[in-house]
Amino acid sequence: MKTISSRRDFLKRTGLAGGGLVIGLNFLESCVKEVVNIPVTASPMITLENGFEAKGALDLTDFLQIKPDGNVFVSLTKYEMGQGVSTGLSSILAEELEADWEKINIRYIKSSVSESDITGGSTSTLLHWDLLRKAGAFAKYLLIEAAAKEWSVYKDECYAENNHVYLRGSDVQLEYGQLVEKVIVPDDYRSLFEQVPLKYRSKFKLIGKSLKSKIIPDMVTGRHPFSIDVQLPGMKYAAVLRCPVFKGKLLRFDASEALKISGVEKVVQIEGVLLDEATHIRDGVAVIANSTWAAFQGKQAVTAEWDLGENAKIEHEKFVADCHEQLANAKGTEILRIGKKIAEDELDNIISYTYEFPYQHHACMEPLNATSHFRGDSCEMWVGTQSADKIIANIEKHLGMPRENIRINCHPSGGGFGLRYSSEYAVESLLVSKAAGGDLVKMCYTREDDIKFDYLNPFELNKHTIGIKEGKPISWDFKNVMANWGGLLGWMYYDIPNCSGTQVKAEAFTQTGAWRSVMANAEGFSTECFIDEVASELNRDPLEFRLSLLPRNKMVDFKHSYQCNINRLRGALELVAQKAQWGKPMPENTGQGIAVYPYMHGNGYGAVVAEVSTANDEIKVTKITTAIDCGLVINPDQVRQQMEGGVIWALSAIFYGGTEYVNGVVQRSNFHDNPVFRIHEIPEIEVHICENDETQPWGVGEIAGPPTYAAVCNAIFATTGKRIRKLPITKKLSELA
Amino acid sequence: MIRLTINGKHYDSEVDPNMPLLWALRDLLGLTGTKFGCGIAQCGACTVLLEGSAVRSCSIPVQSCIDKDIQTIEGVEKSSYRFLQEAWIEEQVPQCGYCQSGQIMSAIGLLKNNPSPTDEEILNAMSGNICRCGTYPRILKAIRSAVEKVPKNDSV
C-alpha cells in the first residue's frame, strides 16, 4: 500500500510546490518510481527521420496535481503552438475528473531524463484522448474512495461533481482540495488505471462545448510565455551568420568590425553538424552580445568566406526540369497496387496531367529562437518545440551528453506548422553556448534568417493518369517526384478497380521539412484538381462524379494507421455541397469549385466549396465554405478556429507560395518578398462540422488545406475555363498561364 | 542615460540611442509583451502607441521616443481600452497569440482616432498586422463588437 507519507517524501525531494495529490505519468513501464506510474502506450505514428524512433515516452512526475486549495494543474502532454491543445486536452481530463473548469490550470512541461512526446500529424487529441480520460477518472476514483473512507460509507454511496465528492441523499460533501491529503493509492493502481470506469458520452458536460481557451487571457495581455521572451540572470544574446548554401563550409571570417560594435562581446565559430540527411546545422559565425540588437548589428559586420560547395551550382529551373525528366523516365518505387495493369489498347481514352506544388515557407510569426546553457556534461534549454524528443536525441548523439543530463524547458510556440518539428535551431543554440565558453545565450533568428534557413515544404510533382472505358474510369496511376522529406502517400479513396502509384526520390539541394498538412498538400491539390478535370472531360458534374466514385459503407485500407471511412468522406462532401448551395446559379465572372480530401494521419475528413470572382482582372476568392468530420468533437469553436486558419494558410500558399533559388541561395528574405495573406484579402469563411457516430475525437489542424487548394483552382476553372496545374498563381487574371 | 515614459512610468536606461525601441523594451526593460516579427515594419507584431498613434517599434530608434508617451500591451489592462482585450477573449481571437499584442495595439491606435470605424476602415487600419494562424475573421469581429459596446463620446 502506498501511503501519503511516501508521497510526501517524494514531494519533498522534487520540491513540487503546493503539495496535494500528485500523479505522475510514465509511458515506459521499465521506469518505476515511487510516484504513481501509469503505463500507457500512446505511440506517435511519425517515425523520426534521423534514426531516433519516437517511443511515445513521456515521463512526467507532475502530470496531474490537485492542490489542497482545490486547484488542478495539468501538465500538457503535447506542445502548444496555437492549435489549442492546452484547452482541448485539459477539458478531456477535467470531464472525467468532474473538475470545476475554472480551477483547471495549465503547465508546460520540463522535459528531461526520458524521451518526451512529439506533436504533429493532427494527432494530439486522438492519441491522448484515452490516456487523459483514464487519468481524470483514476484521480476521481481515488478521491471518491478517500471520501468514502472518511465518512465510513461504501464508495457507491458517493459521487463526484464540480470538484466535490458528495454523499448521496445528504448535504454531506467534501471539496477535492479537502480530500487530497487523505488519498491512498492501492497497490493494484495499474490495473485500476486500465479498468477505471469512464463516463458515458451522454453525460459529458465539458466535451462538446465551446469552452473558452485557458491561455488566451495571457495572450491578450502579452504575458503568454513564448521562449523568445525568456529572461534569465546573466543571459547573453546571440545571432548567427550562417552559410547561405545548404552544406557549404566556412573557410575564414573576420570579426574585427563586429567587435567594435557597442554591446558585442564575443564572436565565435560554429561548426556545422549534419543531424540527418535533411537536417543540418550550418557552418556559421555566432555573435554574442548584451542585447539582440547588438547581436544583429554584430552579425551584419562579420565578414566570412565560404566554400559554398556543389549546391551553389544548382539552379532552381534546372532542378525543376530534372524533376520533370525523372517523372518521365525514372522507374521509381512502387508504393500502391490495386487490381491489375490495364493495357492502353483496352481503354477508350486516357486522361493524364501533371501538377506542381512548390516549395513553401513557414514564416511562423515567432522567429526561431532558443536559449541554451552548456555546462560541460550537462545542459539546459528553453525552447518552443514540437519535439523535445528529437532535441534530446540529437544532443545525446552529436554532443555526447547523456540524456539524463539534458533538461529542456518547453515553451508554447508562436506558430509551429511543422517547422518546430525540426530540432536544428535548438541544438544550434547549444553549440553557440558551447562555443561561447558556456555562456547562457538566447539565440534568435532574424526574420531574414528564418526565411532563408527555413525547412521548406518539399517541391513535388504529381502526375495522374486515368484510363476510361465505356465512360467509366477503370484505372488510375499516379507518379510522384519529391525531394528529401516524406514520401508518396498514395491515398486512393476513389473506387477505381485498378490503381498504381510510384514514387521517385529526387536528389535534393536544400533543406526541407514538415509543413502543415505535409504530403497531403501536394497530393490533395493534385488528386482533387485532376478528378475535377476528368469529371469535366466526361461531362459530369464535379460533385455527382465524385460521389459516384465514393460508394457508401466502404472502408479503404491505405496501409496507414487508420482505414479511410468513405461514409465520413462522403458526409463532409455532401454537407459542404448543401451548405454552399453547390450548383446554384452564379453571376457572370464568378464560379464555384469543390474538393474533398481525407487526412489519414489524423483520420479527419474535409471538404471545401470555393467561390471565386474574376471581375476587374483580379482573381478574388470571395467565399470558402468548409465541412469537417473530425469524429467526436471536443470543442466546436476550436475546430472552427483551426479550419478558418487552415483555409487562410492555404490561400497564402496558392497566391504567394513558392520560393526562388539563385546559386543555391534562397532569394526571399522577409514579409515584403515572401508575402502572406493579410486581413483585407480574406474571403468570407464558413465552417460546418459533420455530425457522426464516432466514439473518439480525430484530427483537426491539417484538414482544411488540401481541399482548399483544389476547390479554389477548380472554381477558377469554373469561372475562366483555365486549369491550374502549378502553384503559386498570380492574382491578375490576364497574367494567368 | 535615456529616459523613456512607458505606460505612465519612467524608465532610465543606458542605451544606444540608435537601438530600436522594440529591443530596448524587450531586452533592456523586460517588457516582452511587444514582439519581434520582421524588423522592417512589415508585420506589425511590434506595434506600440507613440503619442497615441500606432507605430512599429522595430523601426523607431529610442532617441526619437524621448519625452514622448509610449503605450505598450502591458499597460492596456489598466487603460480605458481593456474592453478590446475582453472582446478578443469573447471572440476567442488568438491561436498561437504571437501577433496579438501588435494586433490589439493597432486596434487601439485605430479607435483612438476613429471610435466608430466602418469595416473598410478596420481592414485598412489592420492590414499592416500579419497573423499566420489566420485569426483575421475574428479580429474583424472583435473590433466590430468592441466598437458597438463602447459608449460614444459624441452621443453624450
For residue A265, the distance in angstroms to the closest alpha carbon of chain B comes to 15
pLDDT single digits (tens) A245-278: 999 999 999 999 999 999 999 999 999 999 877 7
Pair B86, B70 in one domain: no
Instruction: Tell me whether residues B130 and A447 touch, CB distance under 8 A.
Output: no
Chain B contact probe: residue of A80, A221, A454, A638 with most B CBs at under 10 A: A221
Q: How close, in Å, is residue B156 to chain A by CA atoms?
A: 30
What percent of chain B is modeled with pLDDT above 70?
Answer: 96
Distance from CA of B10 to the nearest CA of A (A): 20
Kindly report the number of other CB atoms within 10 A of residue A349's CB atom.
13
Q: Which CATH number belongs to the domain containing residue B132 in this structure?
A: 1.10.150.120
Return the minimum-mean-pLDDT range out of A28-37, A214-223, A466-475, B30-39: A28-37
Domain termination residue (choose one: B74, B95, B130): B74
Confidence at residue A389, expressed as pLDDT on a 0 to 100 scale: 80
Which residue, among A86, A220, A417, would best test binding to B if mutated, counting the most B CBs under 10 Å from its CB?
Answer: A220
Range of the domain at B25: 2-74
Summarised one tens digit per residue, pLDDT across range A469-502 is 999 999 999 999 998 666 778 899 999 999 999 9
Instruction: Give the model confidence (pLDDT) of A121-174 as tens digits.
Output: 888 898 889 889 998 998 999 999 999 999 999 999 999 999 999 999 999 999
Q: Do B74 and A222 touch (CB under 8 A)?
A: yes
At residue A183, the pLDDT reads 84
Residue whose grid cell is 465505356: A470
- Give exposure, A61-72, as e/b (b: 16+ Cβ within 10 Å): bbbbbbbbebbb
Q: Which of the two residues, A214 and A121, has the higher pLDDT score?
A: A214
pLDDT band at A17 (very low <50, low <70, confident <90, very high): low
Could you tell me the pLDDT band of residue A51, with boundaries at 50, 70 and 90? very low
Q: Same domain, yes or no, for B6 and B58?
A: yes
Name the grid cell of A132: 487523459
Task: Give the Å distances, CA to CA, from A368 to A194, A393, A664, B37.
Answer: 40, 19, 22, 10
pLDDT in tens, B69-81: 999 999 999 999 9
**Residue A421 predicted with pLDDT over 80:** yes
User: Any idea what DSSP says for residue A81?
Assistant: S
pLDDT at res. A34: 27
For residue B64, the one-letter residue type is: S
- The confidence score (pLDDT) of residue B149 equals 80
A438: left (phi over 0), alpha (psi -120 to 50) or beta: left
More confident residue, B21 or A37: B21
Q: How far is CA A570 from the centre of its chain?
A: 25
For the segment A44-71, the average pLDDT, to the nearest whole number, is 52
Q: The sheet that has A72-75: what strands, in order across it?
A: A21-26, A59-66, A72-75, A104-107
Q: For residue B129, which residues of chain A lie inside 8 Å, CB to CB?
A: 678-679
A293-297, A593-597, A599-603: the lowest-pLDDT one: A599-603
Give the tens place of pLDDT for each residue, A669-723.
999 999 999 999 999 999 999 999 999 999 999 999 999 999 999 999 999 999 9
Residue A52 has pLDDT above 80, yes or no: no
Which residue in the set A84, A210, A414 is minimally distant from B98, CB to CB? A414
- The domain limits of chain A are 4-217, 227-310+362-446, 553-737
Q: Percentage of residues in chain B with pLDDT exceeding 90?
A: 94
Tell me which residue of A311, A246, A312 sits closest to A280, measured CA to CA: A246
Query: Across chain B, what does the average pLDDT equal?
Result: 95
Which of A58-67, A293-302, A463-472 has the weakest average pLDDT? Answer: A58-67
Instruction: Assess whether B68 and B88 both reside in one domain.
Output: no
> How far is it, in rounded angstroms, from Cα B45 to Cα B33?
10
Contact: A291, B139; criterion CB under 8 Å = no
The answer to whether residues B86 and B67 belong to one domain is: no
A412 CA: distance to closest CA in chain B (Å): 8
pLDDT band at residue A59 using 50, 70 and 90 as cut-offs = very low
- Provide the pLDDT confidence category of residue A393 given band limits of 50, 70 and 90: confident
Per-residue confidence (pLDDT) for residue A78, from 0 to 100: 84
CB contact under 8 A, A293 and B136: no
- What's the pLDDT score for residue A485? 67
pLDDT of residue A4: 28
Q: Are residues B143 and B115 in the same domain?
A: yes
Task: Determine whether domain A553-737 maps to CATH 3.20.20.240.
Answer: no
Residues of chain B neighbouring A231 (CB-CB closer than 8 A): 30, 32
Q: How many domains does chain B have?
A: 2
Helix (H, G, I), strand (E, B) or coil at A610: strand
Where residue A181 falls among pLDDT bands split at 50, 70, 90?
confident
Report how far residue A141's alpha carbon sits from residue A570's, in angstroms, rounded to the nearest whole number.
41
The residue out of B48, B74, B100 marking a domain boundary is B74
Residues B9 and B33 in one domain: yes
Closest to A47 in 3D by CA, of A387, A351, A332, A368: A387
Does the pLDDT value for residue A21 go beyond 90?
no
Q: Which three cell numbers stand for residue B37?
A: 516579427
Q: Is residue B145 one of the residues assigned to a domain?
A: yes
**Which stretch of DSSP H or E encloses residue A64?**
strand A59-66
Tell which of B74, B91, B121 closes a domain: B74
- CATH no. of A227-310+362-446: 3.30.365.10
Task: Give the three-class secondary structure for A18.
Answer: coil
A47: pLDDT strictly greater than 70: no
Tell me how close the Cα of B69 comes to any Cα of chain A, in angstroms: 19
Quote the cell numbers at residue A373: 546553457
**Across the A/B interface, how many CB contacts are shorter than 8 Å?**
173
Question: A4-217 domain in CATH 3.90.470.20?
Answer: no
Contact: A644, B19; criterion CB under 8 Å: no
* pLDDT, position A498: 97
ipTM value, please give it.
Answer: 0.97
Distance from CA of B153 to the nearest CA of A (A): 25
Instruction: Find chain A residues with C-beta within 8 A of B136's C-beta.
Output: 648, 677-679, 682
Contact B143, B117 (CB under 8 A): yes
> What is chain A's mean pLDDT, rounded?
89
Going by pLDDT thresholds of 50, 70 and 90, the confidence category of residue B152 is: low
- In this prediction, what percent of chain A has a pLDDT beyond 90? 76
B16 and B64 in a common domain: yes
**Which residues contact residue A382 at a Cβ distance below 8 angstroms, ignoring those fewer than 6 apart?**
A227, A230, A232, A370, A371, A372, A409, A411
What pLDDT does residue A60 have?
Answer: 55
Residues B61 and B89 in one domain: no
Residue of A14, A125, A4 lying closest to A60 (CA atoms):
A14
Q: Are residues B137 and B108 in the same domain?
A: yes
Residues A505-551 pLDDT 10s: 888 788 899 999 999 999 999 999 999 999 999 999 999 999 999 99
Omega within 30 of 0 (cis) for the link into A728: yes
Residue B15 and residue B62 share a domain: yes
B39 or A26, greater pLDDT: B39
Q: Enumerate the residues of chain A whose CB falls inside 8 A of the CB of residue B73.
A: 221-222
Sequence-distant (6+) residues with CB within 8 A of A345 are none
Question: Is residue B155, in this structure, part of any structural domain at all?
Answer: no
Predicted local distance difference test score (pLDDT) of residue A55: 36
A644 vs B138: CB contact, 8 Å cut-off? yes
Taking contacts as CB-CB distances below 8 angstroms, the residues of chain A near B99 are 365, 414
- Model confidence at A6, pLDDT cuts 50, 70, 90, reads very low
